[in-house]
Amino acid sequence: MKNLKIAIQKSGRLNEKSVQLLKNCGLDFENYKSSLITTVNNFNLEILFLRDDDIPGYVAQGIADLGIVGENVIDESQAQVTYLQRLGFGRCTLKIAIPKDSDVQDLADLNGKAIATSYPVILQQFLNEYKIQADIREISGSVEIAPGLGLSDAICDIVSTGGTLKSNGLKPFADVRSSEAILIGREGLLENPILCELLQRVQSVLRAKETKYVVLNVEKINLPQITELLHGVKSPTVVPLAEEGWVAVHTVITEDDFWDKINTLKAAGAQGIVVMPIEKIIL
Ligand code: ATP
Ligand code: ZN
């Protein structure tokens, strides 16, 4: 069968997690920083290492079949691609920020102002939605210095900690859109058996990341309460301990659920709670 090609970021914020995800899917490949393309030894897949901005276009044109890229970049490119799976990493928010001493107080005050951004398409859509007429100044990097240089009254850029804003005398003003990394595919690819296999592996890795394997000990008389608390999980495994009247309960729960319930489980008599990571969950 013909290999599929997946495009991932060559270097930058999405590179490491994209490579890690593919490795966690059991794919064996060399991650040479210098090469543009690498072949997976144990799966019908080739990996292209590209600038993130090029990924949606390559996938839309069919040069790559799949890609891993941020939603912000997909939207900005306006490329026609299919969303296959949200990946839960590379989370960030595109925000409008204004100088600390700006007279802008609500969105309408942006009318007539100049906004510097590397995301003119997304910003224009946002402004249209709120019927704001502002002047978009497209610049490709270091957007946050634009107001200080007198190039604009505001900026629209990805903000994570806000530290860069602060050091440039800016403050966040409005959220434009949030974003995370997405596995995208070219249109018409869905029936492909290699994709189905890869998608199943990706989903089992994502599911495993959210869940933990929990083992706890409890006196038999308290078992009904514990199993009640762990409902939602398909019937936990209960194993007798050497000590008379005690059992070990094994179960799989989401990490959030675990932190919610830990104190109630303890109060219900759970002891020696051990939490372990899970590598994959196949449904
Ligand atoms: P390239 O050289 O591939 O063009 P880049 O400099 O455009 O890289 P990065 O800064 O590596 O891009 O960011 C890649 C993507 O990571 C962004 O498009 C966004 O989806 C996501 N991201 C997550 N957190 C942040 C953040 N704090 N700042 C910027 N991007 C972030
Ligand atoms: Zn980029």
Task: For CATH 3.40.190.10, list the domain ranges present in the chain.
Answer: 4-89+180-208, 92-178
- Per-residue H/E/C for the chain: CCCEEEEEECCCCCHHHHHHHHHHCCCCCCCCCCCCEEECCCCCEEEEEECHHHHHHHHHCCCCCEEEEEHHHHHHHCCCCEEEEECCCCCEEEEEEEECCCCCCCHHHHCCCEEEECCHHHHHHHHHHCCCCCEEEECCCCHHHCCCCCCCCEEEEEECCCHHHHHCCEEEEEEEEEECEEEEECCCCCCCHHHHHHHHHHHHHHHHHHEEEEEEEEEHHHHHHHHHHCCCCCCCEEEECCCCCEEEEEEEEEHHHHHHHHHHHHHCCCEEEEEEECCCCCC
Task: For CATH 3.30.70.120, list the domain ranges present in the chain.
Answer: 211-277
Is the model's pLDDT at 232 over the cut of 70?
no
Q: Which of 161-165, 168-172, 189-193 has the lowest mean pLDDT?
A: 161-165
pLDDT top residue among 283 and 117: 117
Is the model's pLDDT at 162 over the cut of 80?
no
Does the Cβ of 179 fall within 6 Å of ligand 1? Answer: yes
Kindly indicate the confidence band of residue 96, based on its pLDDT and cuts at 50, 70 and 90.
very high
Find the 29 Cα to ligand 1 centroid distance in Å. Answer: 24
Per-residue pLDDT of 35-63, as tens digits, reads 899 999 999 999 999 999 999 999 999 99
Find the 11 Cα to ligand 1 centroid distance in Å. Answer: 10
- Best mutation site among 10, 51, 52, 91 for ligand 1 pocket (most ligand atoms within 8 Å of CB): 52
Instruction: Give domain 211-277's CATH number out of 1.10.150.530, 3.30.930.10, 3.30.70.120, 3.30.1230.10.
Output: 3.30.70.120
- Structure-token pair, residue 89: 């990493």
- Residue 160 alpha carbon, nearest atom of ligand 1: 27
Residue nearest to atom 13 of ligand 1 (CA): 13
Identify the CATH number of the domain defined by range 4-89+180-208: 3.40.190.10
Summary mean pLDDT of the chain: 94
- Structure-token pair, residue 38: 């690498």
Kindly indicate the confidence band of residue 1, based on its pLDDT and cuts at 50, 70 and 90.
confident
Question: What pLDDT is stored for residue 55 in this prediction?
Answer: 98
What's the predicted TM-score (pTM) here?
A: 0.88
Kindly indicate the confidence band of residue 233, based on its pLDDT and cuts at 50, 70 and 90.
low
List Cα–Cα distances, 38 to 5, 13, 66, 240, in angstroms. 10, 20, 14, 50
Is the model's pLDDT at 24 over the cut of 70?
yes
Identify the CATH number of the domain defined by range 92-178: 3.40.190.10
Find the 114 Cα to ligand 1 centroid distance in Å. Answer: 24
Does the Cβ of 18 fall within 6 Å of ligand 1? Answer: no
Is the model's pLDDT at 33 over the cut of 90?
no
